[in-house]
């Protein structure tokens, strides 16, 4: 379990994710409300540090869960093409039915020609890279990762500004 108290399973439930996001957003809003009243500056400064920590843990947890899920999918993909690990298992094997026609043709050619290990390794790498690239592109993962980094930079700037 991570410091936010959320588990991997919770991140599969969009309701739990939404609840946690709402809670974090509310805490930032509360700080901005306190900032409107100079009499509440003491309270604002007091609450700033724990809120910043909470936001930090929250975005790190979201990123960790995302990485975990992407790694899980990549491992599944690797398992589905594990015949490529060995010329003996590759010989005469059938390609997984989710490959493109071009990749199916390459697979069959290698399977028929008792492909040498380095050719199999190269083909396996190209399939995995292609899978990761497509996943990243279609799910807009880079954008999300960049936003995560930006948020953590802002948190650092706030800490530096207030020396907390």
Partner 1 sequence: MELTKAVELLKVLKKQMSEYHNNYSQLSEKLYGQHDKSIAEFVRDLSTEATGEEHKERGPSI
Residues that bind partner 1 (CB under 8 A): 11-12, 14, 17-18, 21, 24-25, 28-29, 31-32, 35, 41, 44-45, 48, 55, 59, 62, 66, 69-70, 73, 76-77, 79-80, 96-104, 127, 130-131, 133-135, 137-141, 143-144, 147-148, 150-151, 154-155, 157-158, 161-163
Residue closer to partner 1 (CB basis): 106 or 120: 106
Tokens in use for 136?
Answer: 């990243």
DSSP per residue, 44-106: HHHHHHHHHHHHHHHHHHHHHHHHHHHHHHHHHHHHHTGGGG-HHHHTTPPPPTTS-HHHHHH
Task: Report in angstroms how near the CB of residue 161 gets to partner 1 at its nearest.
Answer: 5
**Sign of the C-alpha dihedral computed for residues 76, 128, 138 and 97 taken in this order:** negative
Residue closer to partner 1 (CB basis): 35 or 116: 35
Task: Report in angstroms how near the CB of residue 101 gets to partner 1 at its nearest.
Answer: 6
């Amino acid at each position: 379990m991570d410091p936010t108290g959320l588990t991997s399973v919770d991140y599969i439930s969009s309701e739990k994710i939404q609840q946690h996001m709402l809670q974090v957003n509310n805490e930032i809003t509360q700080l901005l409300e306190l900032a409107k009243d100079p009499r509440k500056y003491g309270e604002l400064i007091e609450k700033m540090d724990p809120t910043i920590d909470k936001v930090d843990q929250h975005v790190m947890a979201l990123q960790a869960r995302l990485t975990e899920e992407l790694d899980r999918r990549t491992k599944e993909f690797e398992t589905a093409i594990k015949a490529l690990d060995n010329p003996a298992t590759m010989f005469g094997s059938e390609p997984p039915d989710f490959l493109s026609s071009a990749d199916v043709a390459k697979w069959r050619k290698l399977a028929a020609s008792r492909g040498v290990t380095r050719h199999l390794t190269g083909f396996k790498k190209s399939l995995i890279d292609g899978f990761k690239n497509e996943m990243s592109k279609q799910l807009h993962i880079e954008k999300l990762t960049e936003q995560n980094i930006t948020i953590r930079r802002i948190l650092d700037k706030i800490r530096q500004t207030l020396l907390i």
